[in-house]
Amino acid sequence: MNFLVDEDVAVELDRFLLQSGHRPVRVSEVLGYRTDDADIWDYACRNQLIVLTCNRQDFLALAGESPETGLVILHRRGTRQAECQHLLKLLQSAGEAGLQNNINFA
C-alpha cells in the first residue's frame, strides 16, 4: 500500500511500513514543510495515497463522510514500538480494501 505520511508521524513508522512491504512517502519530501492540511489531502486524493497522520481534527473534517482516499489516524502512544504494533494490527485486520476510501484509527 502507498501512504502519504504527515509531518507529525514519527519517522520510525516510515521504516516500519517499508519493512512491512509498503511505500511511505513523507509530506515534506513531496510538498515541503508546513504544508496546509487541505493541500496534503488534495495531493493524497490525486495520487491515491492513504494519509497517515496524528492530526485527527483537521483530517476528519477534510475526509468528511465519504473520503476520496484512505485516512489512518494514528493515536500517539508511550513508545514508537506501541504505535507500530497498533498500526500493524490495523494493516492486518483491514487490509488494503479496508483502508481505501475509509477512515481508520490505529
CATH number, domain at 38? 3.40.50
Q: Comparing 43 with 78, which gets the higher pLDDT? A: 43
Structural contact between residues 31 and 47, judged by C-beta atoms closer than 8 angstroms: no
Average model confidence (pLDDT) across the chain? 95
pLDDT surpassing 90 at residue 93? yes
Domain ranges, residue 47: 2-105
pLDDT surpassing 90 at residue 85? yes
Number of domains in the chain: 1
pLDDT computed for residue 99 by the predictor: 95
Residue 35 forms beta bridges with which residues?
none
**Closest listed residue to residue 96, CA positions, set 19, 20, 5, 16:** 20
pLDDT computed for residue 66 by the predictor: 86
